Structure 1
Amino acid sequence: MDGDTTNARSDWISRSESTGGVERIEAFFHGNAYSMHRHDTYAIGVTLAGVQCFHYRRSLRSSLPGQTMVLHPDEAHDGQAGTREGFRYQMIYVQPAAIQQFLGGQPLPFVEGGVTNDPRLFEATKTALRQLRGKAEPLERDDALAGLALALNCASGARPTRKSADFAAAQRAREYLDASCTRAVTLDELAAVSGQDRWSLSRDFRTFYGTSPYHYLIMRRLDASRAMMLRGLSLVDTAAAAGFADQSHMTRHFRDAYGLPPARWLAMMRARRAG
């Protein structure tokens, strides 16, 4: 569908600050919203009004009010309106590490098709959207995440863990990446920290966190970049402070992760705040 350039001016995004591996947005779009992109989080949400369409796993999917969208980490997708009236939706982006707090090292749940009518997951998602806000109390946040993790597991049909997978090693590598995201990290470093060989670590990291160690590192840099941009830091300075080679390097990864260039994302955030 071609974007409606007249109505595109009224598109907006409202975002709550990421906390504990969770980010919450509400948005409205006409026409084309996002180009093809992928991120290392679950994207779980509901369409509030209109028809929300997206390409996902080689098919065009449609989400209507009353259904739940579940996009698996590292799966490419885009977003567009199914009608000229546009669509409004709410979404939470949940890092696999937050889900693993409650699954205890099981493979990440995968929900077929990207859109489901599962009633338990719909209720758990609505609860999470309500409770996982920037100022949520710790117990409130954990309760919502636990309900979401359990509902995801049920909707996917929980799979047994491979006996050879080492969750503790993958967790050590993830914690090391969290602490080192603004500098270059090698796979040899991660292997030494985790106590695994390079191949086993790469395999197990994907099993438990849904993406590669490098993409996880890039996404942590982008988390830091968005926070700095919203505080008013220039794009050039943001790229340097977050650990990117330069602004173009950050822009390429930003577009790949969110489907928008950073300047447009920032302009839309400011437009929503001013509205």
Structure 2
Amino acid sequence: MDRQKPPNDWIKIAPPSGKIERIEAYFSGHGYEPHRHDTYAIGRTLSGVQSFNYRGSKRHSLPGNIMVLHPDEIHDGEAGTLDGFQYRMIYLEPALIQKILGGRPLPFIVGGITTDPRLFAATEPLLTAVENSFEILEEEDALYDFAQTLATVGGQNFHRRTFDYKAAEIARQYRQYIDSAFSQNITLDELSLISGRDRWSLSRDFRALFGTSPYRYVTMRRLEYSRRLMGMGLSLSNVAVESGFSDQSHMTRQFIKTLGISPGRWLKIINKGSA
């Protein structure tokens, strides 16, 4: 498929809410390079055929299909036909899902696409138009219903290492430290000293609770911050330094690797979506 960057692609981002990130987007051809999130990516195809590689196979999501991409799973995205595709997506921290489920393993949807009407109904309140906002209680109720439905439909088929709540609390403290110091050169040894837990146990507990590695979590926080700075009009070189990357090329590599799109292209389609 032609990988030229068509000028009519766009992404709209919903206003910040309590616990989720929401987008709506359209791509007329190639959308994203292979990348992975440290969150669940839950979406619905609105029009066209949304094609992506996921866990060794090519998947094709049709209008009305629900996509449930597990944290840390590599995927890409492109139009399956010449008509392009439009979709909505939400991103949920795995720790939130696990907290709602009382510490049970993270649910997994085989193949990443489902037509199960229970998940369609459970995602309906969350996959609303990006212009719509949530009341706090409304969002929390919808998230609770979704997590329970996801566990039922997924059957808890994908098991990751369990963890005890003492270890989970240490991992949460670890995350809080990262959130406040992501622009610094954080190491496992440093965090091991802070937490009093050996670094490999700390890394294992972090993965069990948050569904991704500590380093990828740091990278995601840096990328979130870089997008905010880019939206404020800072130059890409200054954004890279302020966000904790070694230079602009380092930020660009991580942007493409993690989000599947370059910073420059992200700015163009964001500006188009908000026009």
Please indicate, yes or no, whether the TM-score normalized by the shorter chain is above 0.5.
Answer: yes
For structure 2, the 5+ residue unaligned runs are none
1: CA distance, partners of 2:230 / 2:153: 37
> How far has the Cα of 1:161 moved from its partner?
8.0
> How far has the Cα of 1:96 moved from its partner?
1.9
> How far has the Cα of 1:117 moved from its partner?
1.7
Q: Deviations along 1:8-51, whole A, 9 cap, x unmatched?
A: 22111111144444211111111211111112111101001111
Q: TM-score, normalised by structure 1?
A: 0.91
- What is the match of residue 72 of structure 1? 70
SS at match of 2:182: coil
- What is the match of residue 262 of structure 2? 261
1: CA distance, partners of 2:120 / 2:206: 28
Q: Deviations along 1:60-109, whole A, 9 cap, x unmatched?
A: 00111222101111111100111111111111111223323413333322
Residue 189 of structure 1 pairs with residue 187 of structure 2: no
Give the AA of the match of 2:232.
R
- What is the match of residue 232 of structure 1? 233
For structure 1, the 5+ residue unaligned runs are none
SS at match of 1:130: coil
1: CA distance, partners of 2:140 / 2:194: 28
- What is the match of residue 2 of structure 1? 2
1: CA distance, partners of 2:262 / 2:179: 24
Residue 34 of structure 1 pairs with residue 42 of structure 2: no
Instruction: Assess, with a 3 A threshold, how the Cα gap between structure 1 residues 162 and 212 changes in structure 2: closer, same or farther.
Output: closer
SS at match of 1:9: coil
- What is the match of residue 205 of structure 2? 204
Match of 1:98 among 96, 99, 103: 96
1: CA distance, partners of 2:91 / 2:35: 14
- How many residue pairs are counted as aligned between the two chains? 272
Q: TM-score, normalised by structure 2?
A: 0.91
Instruction: Assess, with a 3 A threshold, how the Cα gap between structure 1 residues 37 and 164 changes in structure 2: closer, same or farther.
Output: closer
Residue 220 of structure 1 pairs with residue 218 of structure 2: no
> How far has the Cα of 1:136 moved from its partner?
2.3
- What is the match of residue 137 of structure 1? 135
2: CA distance, partners of 1:142 / 1:38: 25
Give the AA of the match of 2:223.
L
RMSD: 2.1
